[in-house]
Structure 1
Amino acid sequence: MAEAYARVLPDASFEASIDLAMIDRFLDEVGSGACVLDAGCGTGRMFSYLVARDPALRIAGADASEGMLAQARVAHPDVPLVVADLGSLPYEDEELDGILAWYSIIHTTPSELVGVLAELGRVLRPGGALLVGHQAGGGQRRESRRAYGHDVELWSYLHDPSAVCDALTAAGFVVDTRLERAPRPSERHSQAFELATRPRAVAVPPA
């Protein structure tokens, strides 16, 4: 259903203004011209917003779905994209300045969350920033319905914001900002966002 998804949700216009404010805060943290990975980028619908906010930004995208990335390549041929799972990224240690995980951890079980966040931390430079967005709550959701013109069975996980903050800390991050908002009429759950940074190394003076 990737083509239909790209047609229905082509950009960031669905996001609430406060959601986008969190992305703006994230971009301020990483700085102009930063190398930012959209981890779980799907069809690349957030790329245009990121570039509009900072034309000097160097964006890359990773997603587990080849079909979604095929749509991203059509809309954004200049963005380097890779097929990858969030728990095993094909990037070097400390290669990136920032990572956007925008509704991509909804496919990660709570027991796997610390490991995934640790992998994101591995490829993030000291001082780099990670922004996570997700539906707030708990438990696994299974929906069988017609979506984007296709009969699909959807599985996803709700994550409690406090548990996500705990997982970020366990993965070596320092939580900077946490935001939770009530659902809009089109949403069934509250939405949560966590901005965290990878600590810089502390120089130890000689004895």
Structure 2
Amino acid sequence: MTETSSYLETTAGAYDAVAVLYADLVRDSLDGLPLDRAVLAAFAELAPGGGPVAELGCGPGYLTAHLRGLGLDVFGIDLSPVMIGLAREAYPDLRFEVGSMDALDLADGTLHGIVSWYSVIHTPPRHLPSYFSEFRRVLAPDGHLLLGFFESEGGPITTFDHKVTTAYRWPIDDLAELAGKAGFTEVGRMLREPGEGERFRRGHLLLRKG
């Protein structure tokens, strides 16, 4: 087993094990987060041409459904088969597929937008450049990428005790630089302080395929 397949299998298995509890926890999580909703709305407005958008790491599908409500032609992909089953059950009129963000079963230039909402957080930092390369491959010219992640608040890249499996906090400048090296141009960013029940600052980067 390679290192890549090992951490992917670990992540998928961890989310399979907590899928029902996780789905109940996050179902209404956007309701009290106006800044997060504003970032998603900006992405929806910028995604060009009305073409397909993928939420990568969609979990139980609540955010995919939110993006559909913003007028996007959206579908979801996730590593966890149990999560995908829950998403299909909850939103039968939306498309959900099992898959990995680092090897998407999509043709070059297929997507007009990608949302990765707290889904690259489990990727070991040395592997993240290959994810950005894959995102760029499947995006159409001028396609947009929205990243949500835990920000390291001025510190280095650090691991933390995520409730599901190992995760990483990133300095927003470092993550933006890494995306830039993969061929993305920053459009905007948003940092917000932890809300009630949250431990860490949240980072959001809106990027365009260069």
TM-score range (shorter-chain normalised) is: 0.7 to 0.9
Q: Determine helix, strand or coil for the equivalent of 2:62.
A: coil
Give the Cα–Cα distance (whole angstroms) in 1 for the partners of residues 42 and 120 of structure 2. 20
Match of 2:110 among 88, 95, 107: 95
Give the Cα–Cα distance (whole angstroms) in 2 for the partners of residues 114 and 50 of structure 1. 26
Which residue matches 1:202? none
Q: Determine helix, strand or coil for the equivalent of 1:154.
A: coil
Match of 1:141 among 134, 140, 160: 160
Give matches, 1:147-162, under 5 Å: 154-162=165-173
Q: Deviations over 1:23-80 (max 9, x none)?
A: 11111111473311000000001122212221xx211111111111110010112222
Which residue matches 2:175? 164
Which residue matches 2:191? 180
With structure 2 as the length reference, what TM-score do the two structures score? 0.85
Higher strand share: 1
The percent of aligned pairs where both chains have the same amino acid is: 30
Q: CA RMSD in A?
A: 1.6
User: Are 2:87 and 1:72 aligned?
Assistant: yes
Q: Deviations over 1:75-106 (max 9, x none)?
A: 11222222111111111100000000000011
With structure 1 as the length reference, what TM-score do the two structures score? 0.86
Give matches, 1:122-141, under 5 Å: 122-137=137-152, 138-141=157-160
Deviation at 1:15, TM superposition (A): 5.5
Name structure 2 gaps, 5 residues minimum: 1-17
Q: Is the 8 A contact 1:12 1:49 kept in 2?
A: no
Q: Deviations over 1:128-186 (max 9, x none)?
A: 1000000101311235xxx6xxxxx6311111111110111011111110111111131
Partner amino acid, structure 1, of 2:159: Q
1:15–1:62 Cα change, 3 Å: farther
Give matches, 1:82-121, under 5 Å: 82-121=97-136
Higher helix share: 2
Which residue matches 1:35? 52
Deviation at 1:10, TM superposition (A): 1.6
Q: Is the 8 A contact 2:30 2:36 kept in 1?
A: no
Q: Determine helix, strand or coil for the equivalent of 2:189.
A: strand
Q: Is the 8 A contact 1:30 1:97 kept in 2?
A: yes
